[in-house]
Amino acid sequence: MITKEKIDAFIEKIPPSPQALRKTILALNAGDLTKAAEAAKEDKALSHYLKELVNKPIYGFRNEVSDVSQIFGILGVSQSQQAVYNYMLTLLSPAKWKLFKLNRNSFSDLQAELSIQWQKILKHLHIEDKEIESAIALLPASIIVSEALFCEKIDDVELLRSVNNIDLNTILKRLCGMDLFDICERIAQKWEMDEKIANIIQAASGIKPSDDEKIDLLGKWMHLLLFFTLSKPQFIDAGLNDFIDFQIEYVSDIYDEFATLMEIT
- Calpha distance 59→157 (Å, rounded): 36
pLDDT tens by residue, 117-173: 999 999 999 998 888 988 898 888 889 888 888 888 888 888 887 776 778 888 888
pLDDT values of the chain reduced to their tens digit, one per residue, 265 residues? 566 777 777 777 665 456 788 788 889 888 899 999 999 998 888 898 898 888 888 787 778 888 899 999 988 888 888 888 888 777 778 888 988 999 888 998 898 899 889 999 999 999 988 889 888 988 888 898 888 888 888 888 888 877 767 788 888 888 888 888 998 888 888 777 889 999 999 999 999 999 999 999 999 999 999 999 999 999 999 989 888 788 999 999 999 999 999 986 4
- Respond yes or no on whether the N-terminal peptide bond of residue 57 is cis (omega within 30° of 0): no
Q: What share of the chain is helix, strand, coil (3-state, %, to 5)?
A: 70, 0, 30
- Dmax over CA atoms of the chain, in Å, equals 55
pLDDT tens by residue, 78-95: 888 888 888 877 777 888
Distance of CA 102 to the CA centre of its chain: 15
- How many Cβ atoms sit within 10 Å of the Cβ of residue 166? 14
pLDDT value of residue 265: 46
* DSSP track, 101-148: ---HHHHHHHHHHHHHHHHHHHHHTT---HHHHHGGGHHHHHHHHHHH
